[in-house]
Amino acid sequence: VPEDLAKRPAIVGGVEQDFTYGDCQDEMALINRAFLEVILEGDAEGNTLDFPIPTYAITKKFDWNEENAKLLLDVTVKTGLPYFANFINGDLKQKNARSIFSGTHFNAKKLFKKTGGLFAYGENTGTIGTVSINMARLAYLAKDEEDFLKHLDKVLDISARSLSTKRQVLASLLEAGLYPYTKHYLGSFENHFSSIGIVGMNEACMNANWIQKGLDAEEAQNFAENVLMHVRKRLKEYQADHHELFSIEAVAAGDISHRFALKDQKEYPDMMIAMQGDTPYYTGSTELPIDGNVDLFTRLDIQNRMQEIYTGGTIFNVRLAKNEYDAKGIAVLLERIMENYTIPYITLNTCNRDYPIEGYLYQEAVNER
């Protein structure tokens, strides 16, 4: 039971009871076990369920030897589905897992972090929309770093205005009664973020004539860090101007990375673009290419530096080669990562699911510990 709920009276049917949530640990364990068993079983044909995607809070008190924890690891081995929130290191707080503004008022000078990762938003919050910025094209067209930041500022200004306009339209439609359930349960979109996302920073560094190296190089990492801090600074200015929440997002990319790369490939044939077979794409946010030669813990070192700058969307994806892992080894790996890094959210893809590229080898990770 989360510490901030343990001593609160349990509510049943809207009525406070004479027992607390802390008294309901056995019932919570029963529900958790039932959920994990359903996920482990899969659908009627035994296929992995794509949703829901659970996010589990890992604290210093988390017992990996407890029966439900073992079942969770079995689910992870079979499906790669769960996300793990790092409450051991970093600035994640359990009390904020449900409400981002727990005892906090809006402060334009501060960028608030989204709660719950990609699939476990806190209460009464979400995203108005996300504008993804093609960093690779900006870097390719820029004369130098100063010119890059100049053009980036123009794109950021347009992004902020478009998101603010969208927020105003949605708010007016909400007040006009077009979203009755949203109006009843949320009341407003005041706690929703206007998100600006980063796509293709690795390719941006490779195309920048003043760097021409990927994110595995120190100078590229320094540039990426400076760009992220610059975006944070601008978002604080937008918050003050619009009095609205803004977020700098680590965009997973997906379709948008392919669309950006496809357009750039046609318009600028000499651009450096990542390829998977004949398919062009850009690496998500400030991630390294998954088919590179950088080992797992070096990647963690680099992402540990980057991910704490973002306020939303951060996830470190550990890809494990098929049949190279077991539940006990995964527990050791998760503990090792969370004890030594401030990366907020971690997922392990065990390649029992359909992923186009197999990346890190589990055996390499275990040998390094």
According to DSSP, the β-strands at 192-199 and 126-134 are: parallel
pLDDT at 7: 92
Output the pTM of the full model.
0.84
* Dihedral sign, Cα of residue 145, residue 149, residue 150, residue 151: positive
pLDDT at 365: 41
Q: Where are the domains of the chain?
A: 1-104+316-369, 124-314
Largest CA distance in the chain: 70
Residue of 76, 230, 79 lying closest to 153 (CA atoms): 230
Report the distance separating Cα 158 and Cα 167, nearest Å. 14
Q: At what angle do helices 296-307 and 218-242 cross, to 10 degrees?
A: 30
Q: Residue 279: which H helix or E strand, with range?
A: strand 279-281
Q: Say how many C-beta atoms besides its own lie within 10 A of residue 258's C-beta.
A: 15
pLDDT at 232: 95
Question: What is the tens place of the pLDDT at every residue in 231-255?
Answer: 999 999 999 999 999 999 988 767 8
Residue of 16, 267, 273, 263 lying closest to 136 (CA atoms): 273
At residue 257, φ and ψ (nearest 5 deg) are -65, -35
121-149 exposure pattern, b = at least 16 Cβ within 10 A, e = fewer: bbebbebbbbbbbbbbbbbbebeebeebb
Question: What is the tens place of the pLDDT at every residue in 269-295?
Answer: 999 998 877 889 999 899 988 777 788
pLDDT (tens digit, 0 to 9) for every residue of the chain, 369 residues total? 888 788 999 999 999 999 999 999 999 999 999 999 999 998 888 888 888 888 898 988 889 889 999 999 988 888 888 999 898 887 766 665 655 544 444 555 667 765 555 444 556 788 899 999 999 999 999 999 999 999 999 999 999 999 999 999 999 999 999 999 999 988 999 989 999 999 999 999 999 999 999 999 999 999 999 999 999 999 999 999 999 999 999 887 678 899 999 999 999 999 999 887 788 999 989 998 877 778 888 999 999 999 989 988 888 888 776 655 678 888 888 999 999 999 988 988 765 444 433 333 333 444 443
Contact call for residues 249 and 312 (beta carbons, < 8 A): yes
pLDDT at 272: 94
At residue 85, φ and ψ (nearest 5 deg) are -95, 130
Report the distance separating Cα 46 and Cα 69, nearest Å. 22
Q: At what angle do helices 145-175 and 218-242 cross, to 10 degrees?
A: 40
Mark out the alpha helices in 13-144 (DSSP H runs). Answer: 25-41, 67-79, 135-141
Residue of 319, 315, 342, 316 lying closest to 330 (CA atoms): 319
pLDDT at 244: 92
**Paired residues of 66 in beta bridges:** none
